[in-house]
Amino acid sequence: MKKSLLLLGLFFAIQNNYSQVLIMNTIEGHRDSKMDYEYGYLPGRKFPFYQTIKKYDLKGLVIRVELFDDRRKLDLKTISCSPLTIENISEFAESKTIYRFAQYTDTLLNQANAVIDSASKEIIEIHLEAIDSRLIGFGYIKVHGLCQIKVKYKGLYKTYCIDIKDGDENSPLGGNAFVTRKGGTRIMGSASIREVLEQFFADLMVMN
């Protein structure tokens, strides 16, 4: 029992060194304390983070953010905004993706002048339902980033979904950019996280 409590305390201590977002569950059930946050689970490349397209000012909104990994529970084969299949064979299928998502959420909320405080009574629940990155086509290949989350906050209970591909208006990757397949899927998977969070930020601005 004491060992379990010690491990649980270590879990949250490590988490809070990198993100104030609270991870409420994981696919694997525990955190790998040796995970490198500079490179994460993407060997050899720094995980790309992208700022929101628009600027948001939440004016010091103090919130508790709880993040749930519902991917295994739901096992979605498609998301609401795309006909593409969620194959879960990209790097984003890894259980450790939830930690990257937490860090991304923390980073963008801080950039939007929100204050994440685990003691706050204002609670945002973010449920990661699906994330994938797909290479589509023959010869002329398009790279898609797919992500779907569900958010609960006050009276809001809403699904946010994106299928973003290289060359799209908000894509960090141009349609004719020269990148490796692995590099392209990493970029577009990261962009898909940014996109669903920005959709939620637009609603959050209206609510506060």
**CA nearest to 109, candidates 41, 205, 24, 186:** 205
Q: Measured between alpha carbons, how far is 63 from 71 in angstroms, rounded to an integer?
A: 24
> What pLDDT shows up at residue 24?
93
> What pLDDT shows up at residue 177?
65
Centre a 10 Å sphere on the Cβ of residue 72 and count the other Cβ atoms it contains. Answer: 12
> What pLDDT shows up at residue 180?
66
> What pLDDT shows up at residue 141?
84
> What pLDDT shows up at residue 179?
66
Topology of domain 2-207, CATH: Rossmann fold (3.40.50)
Dig out the tokens for 177 from the structure: 């950019």
| β pairing state of 156-165 and 62-69 | unpaired
- Looking at residue 80, the DSSP 8-state letter turns out to be T
pTM exceeding 0.75: yes
Q: Measured between alpha carbons, how far is 93 from 76 in angstroms, rounded to an integer?
A: 12
Rounded to the nearest 5°, which phi and psi values hold at 7? -65, -40
pLDDT, averaged per 10 consecutive residues of the chain (208 residues), comes to 39 49 75 36 64 96 97 97 95 92 96 96 98 87 95 96 95 75 87 98 94
> What pLDDT shows up at residue 34?
40
